[in-house]
Amino acid sequence: MRILVVGSGGVGDAVARIAARRSFFDLVVMADHDLSRAERTVAAVQGDHGDPRFVSAPVDASDAGAVTALAREHGITHILNAVDPRFVMPVFTGALAAGADYLDMAMSLSRPHPERPYELTGVKLGDEQFELSDRWESAGRLALVGMGVEPGLSNVFARYAADHLFAQIDELGTRDGSNLVVLGDDGEPVFAPSFSIWTTIEECLNPPVIWERDRAETSGRPEGGWFTVPPFHEPEVFDFPGGIGPVECVHVEHEEVLLMPRFLDARRVTFKYGLGEEFIAVLRTLHRLGLDSTTPVAVRASVAGSPVTAAVSPRDVVAACLPDPATLGDRMHGATCAGVLVTGTAADGSPREVYLHHVVDNAWSMAEYGAQCVVWQTAVNPVVALELLARGTWSGSGVLGPEAFDAVPFLDLLAAPAPVGYGSPWGLEERPPPR
**DSSP notation for 329-380:** GGGEESEEEEEEEEEEE-TTS-EEEEEEEEEEEHHHHHHHHSS-HHHHHHHH
Helices (H), 99-144: 127-130, 133-138
pLDDT band at 125 (very low <50, low <70, confident <90, very high): very high
Residue 96, phi then psi, degrees to nearest 5 = -65, -45
Tell me the CA end-to-end span of the chain in Å, nearest whole number: 50
Helices (H), 74-151: 88-98, 127-130, 133-138
- Tell me the percentage of the chain whose pLDDT exceeds 70: 97
The pLDDT of residue 185: 75
Whether the per-residue pLDDT at 369 is higher than 90: the answer is yes
Question: pLDDT per residue over 400-412, tens digit each?
Answer: 999 999 999 999 9
Whether the per-residue pLDDT at 25 is higher than 90: the answer is yes
Hey, CA dihedral for 387, 133, 130, 265, is it positive or negative?
negative
Pairing relationship of beta strands 27-32 and 2-6 according to DSSP bridges:
parallel
Q: What is the mean pLDDT of residues 8-33?
A: 96
- 122-131, 245-254, 350-359: least confidently modelled range: 245-254
Q: What is the mean pLDDT of residues 98-110?
A: 97
* 93 alpha carbon, distance to own chain's centre: 19
Q: What is the mean pLDDT of residues 8-12?
A: 94
3-state SS class at 78: strand
The pLDDT of residue 243: 94
Whether the per-residue pLDDT at 326 is higher than 70: the answer is no
Hey, CA dihedral for 416, 418, 419, 422, is it positive or negative?
positive
Of 326 and 408, the one with more pLDDT: 408
Whether the per-residue pLDDT at 75 is higher than 70: the answer is yes
Rounded to the nearest 10 degrees, the angle between the axes of helix 88-98 and helix 64-73 is 40
- 201-205, 388-392, 425-429: least confidently modelled range: 201-205
One-character DSSP codes across 164-227? HT-SEEEEEEEEEEE--EEB-TTSSB----SS-HHHHHHHHHSPPEEEEHHHHHHHTSGGGGEE
Of 340 and 285, the one with more pLDDT: 340
Whether 342 and 353 have beta carbons less than 8 Å apart is answered as yes
Whether 105 and 147 have beta carbons less than 8 Å apart is answered as yes
Whether the per-residue pLDDT at 189 is higher than 70: the answer is no
Q: What is the mean pLDDT of residues 146-169?
A: 97
3-state SS class at 63: coil
The pLDDT of residue 92: 98
Q: What is the mean pLDDT of residues 78-103?
A: 97
Q: What is the mean pLDDT of residues 183-188?
A: 75
The pLDDT of residue 194: 65
Nearest to 356 by CA among 194, 148, 159, 146: 159
- Domains along the sequence of the chain with CATH: 2-148+376-426 (3.40.50.720), 153-375 (3.30.360.10)
Whether the per-residue pLDDT at 375 is higher than 80: the answer is yes
- 26-40, 119-133, 202-216: least confidently modelled range: 202-216
Distances (CA, A) of 4 to 9, 27, 79, 148, 170: 14, 8, 5, 16, 39
Question: pLDDT per residue over 291-321, tens digit each?
Answer: 888 889 888 877 777 788 888 888 888 888 8
Q: How far apart are CA 366 and CA 362, in angstroms?
A: 6
3-state SS class at 320: helix
Whether 173 and 133 have beta carbons less than 8 Å apart is answered as no
Q: Give the pTM.
A: 0.91
The pLDDT of residue 320: 84
Question: pLDDT per residue over 49-73, tens digit each?
Answer: 688 999 999 999 999 999 999 999 9
The pLDDT of residue 222: 81
pLDDT band at 434 (very low <50, low <70, confident <90, very high): confident
Q: How far apart are CA 434 and CA 268, in angstroms?
A: 15
Q: What is the mean pLDDT of residues 187-208?
A: 75
**Bridge partner residues of 360 (DSSP):** 336
Q: What is the mean pLDDT of the chain?
A: 92
The pLDDT of residue 267: 97
Q: What is the mean pLDDT of residues 113-125?
A: 94
For the chain, give me the number of helices (H) and strands (E)? Answer: 15, 20
Whether the per-residue pLDDT at 192 is higher than 70: the answer is no
pLDDT band at 195 (very low <50, low <70, confident <90, very high): low
Beta strands in 241-282 (DSSP E): 245-251, 268-274
Of 158 and 84, the one with more pLDDT: 158
Question: pLDDT per residue over 231-270, tens digit each?
Answer: 888 999 999 999 999 999 999 999 999 999 999 999 999 9
Whether the per-residue pLDDT at 379 is higher than 70: the answer is yes
